[in-house]
Amino acid sequence: MLPIGTIIYLKEGTSKIMILNRGPIIEMDGERAMFDYSGCFYPQGLVPERVFYFNHENIDEIVFEGYKDNEEERFQKLFGEWKEENEGKFKAGKVTEPLKQLIKANLNMFK
């Protein structure tokens, strides 16, 4: 699990994405789905209507790893335990459209 603030490139992506959250749960197709991460464009920052939801498998490159300390390590341990205890309660989130199209659509908002 990568820490908040990590800067990455998604597969097929040409823009940097900053990780905002781990384990976001969103409504998809009438069910609650959990992704590994949510993120926003870097350096633009958070635009609530333009948040990306993706999984570790969608990451192509880690440009910068966010801050880690004892609290982060403790969070990762507790979050891992919580995920095990709640396995099966949430559908695993899947990226449903090609990342290239998703990123292009989000970039158009800045024109």
Whether the per-residue pLDDT at 62 is higher than 50: the answer is yes
Residue 40 pLDDT grade (very low, low, confident, very high; cuts 50, 70, 90): very high
Predicted confidence band at 55 (pLDDT cuts at 50, 70, 90)?
very high
2 within domain boundaries:
no
pLDDT tier, 88 (very low <50, low <70, confident <90, very high otherwise): confident
Question: Quick check: helix, strand or coil at residue 24?
Answer: coil
37 occurs within a structural domain = yes
- Residue at 111 is within a domain: no
Domain with 36, as residue range(s), is 7-104
Q: Note whether residue 1 is domain-resident.
A: no
Any domain includes 11? yes
- Whether residue 50 contacts residue 109, with contact meaning beta carbons closer than 8 Å, is answered with yes
Number of structural domains (the chain) is 1
Could you tell me if 108 and 100 are in contact, meaning their C-beta atoms sit under 8 angstroms apart?
no
- Is 29 a member of any domain? yes
Within a domain: 43:
yes
Q: What is the pLDDT of residue 98?
A: 54
